[in-house]
Amino acid sequence: MDLDLRKLRYFVAVAEHRNFGRAAEQLYITQPVLSRQVRAFEQELECTLLVRTTRSVELTAAGKQLYEEAQGILASVAAAVRRVNDVGRSVQRLVVAFSPGLHVSDAIRAFTRRHPQVRTDVVPTRWWEQDAPLRDGRAQVGYLRRPFDDSGLHTIPIGHEPRVACLPAAHPLACRGELTSADLADERMLDTPTRRTSSLEEKFELIASGHGVALVPLSVARSYSRPDLVHLPVADVPGIETCLVALADRREKLLRDFLEVATTTLRNA
């Protein structure tokens, strides 16, 4: 019933590595200790979390559930501790979440000029749950790309960018100048938000190794260019909208100021 966060962190490490030895190494403890702690954790929860064979470690349904829960718990706890520290030191802070490929430095610089006493920070979001840092309290404002779950969020559209097709350089279509969606009809698309492709790097790796192609926002294509991939404009796919986002029920002056500064900055850009 008491749930020790240390043991929760231990479990998370094992869940991520699927391997006690390497998880222990990352935690700077020895493997036997980790085995014992995780087993004790399971007994406390009265619930089996892992299926161990001598060769592999797998998560049970409960283990998967706990792993999901743990993400949010640990993130919220860390954010809460930092907020308490900020209050204790009379520090004002604004954290900006941003989706891969988007740049917020201009807005932050402009905001810092106007509010030099406010510390700013940024946190990257994972593209299949872009709203998570806002909802769990890690960030107060986000700079996100649609689509995302906007329930309870205040959104300000600030831009629209085309999407380009990303293909392996060796692909037959790669030498063409511009494509249409018809050209891509037979290709395997990697756009669906499956959690398999957890990072953009992983997605590009899959594309480069021939597992499929994808449509990506132009800014992403610019940021992650690599020699074994080509990016080609596609005539008839809709672009994608970028938004400034904040929790709808937040009314702090700092937040409103940032939204104002950011919209003007980004409009001038």
Backbone phi and psi for residue 35, each to the nearest 5 degrees, phi listed first: -55, -50
Measure CA 203 to chain center.
14
Q: How far is the CB of 171 from a second copy (least distance, A)?
A: 37
**Could you give the count of Cα atoms lying within 13 Å of 106 in the half-sphere of its Cβ?**
11
Structure tokens at 98: 């941003």
Q: Nearer Cβ to a second copy, position 136 or 165?
A: 136
CB 66 within 8 A of CB 50: no
Task: Give the H or E element holding residue 160.
Answer: strand 153-161
Binder of a second copy out of 21, 32, 147, 152 (CB under 8 A): 152
| 21 is an interface residue for DNA by CB under 7 A | yes
How would you classify residue 259: left for phi > 0, otherwise alpha for psi between -120 and 50, otherwise beta?
Answer: alpha
| 40 is an interface residue for a second copy by CB under 8 A | no
| 39 is an interface residue for DNA by CB under 7 A | yes
Among positions 54-113, residues that touch a second copy (CB under 8 A) are 60-62, 64-66, 69-70, 72-73, 76-77, 80-81, 83-85, 87-89
**Rg over CA atoms, the chain:** 22
Q: How far is the CB of 238 from a second copy (least distance, A)?
A: 24
Show contacts of 199-208: CB within 8 Å, 24+ apart: 199/126, 200/100, 200/101, 200/127, 200/224, 204/166, 204/229, 207/166, 207/167, 207/168, 208/168
Binder of DNA out of 4, 86, 178, 201 (CB under 7 A): 4
Among positions 52-71, residues that touch DNA (CB under 7 A) are 52-57
Residue 196 burial (CB count, 10 A)? 10
Q: Nearer Cβ to DNA, position 30 or 198?
A: 30
| 223 is an interface residue for DNA by CB under 7 A | no
| 9 is an interface residue for DNA by CB under 7 A | no
Taking the chain, what is the end-to-end CA distance rounded to the nearest angstrom?
A: 53
Q: How far is the CB of 5 from a second copy (least distance, A)?
A: 6
Q: Nearer Cβ to a second copy, position 66 or 234?
A: 66
Stretch near DNA under the rule CB under 7 A, chosen from 46-54, 135-143, 146-154, 221-229: 46-54
Structure tokens at 256: 């409103």
Residues lying near a second copy in the complex (CB under 8 A) are found at: 1-6, 45-49, 60-62, 64-66, 69-70, 72-73, 76-77, 80-81, 83-85, 87-89, 149, 151-153, 247-249
Residues lying near DNA in the complex (CB under 7 A) are found at: 4, 6-7, 18-21, 28-33, 35-40, 52-57
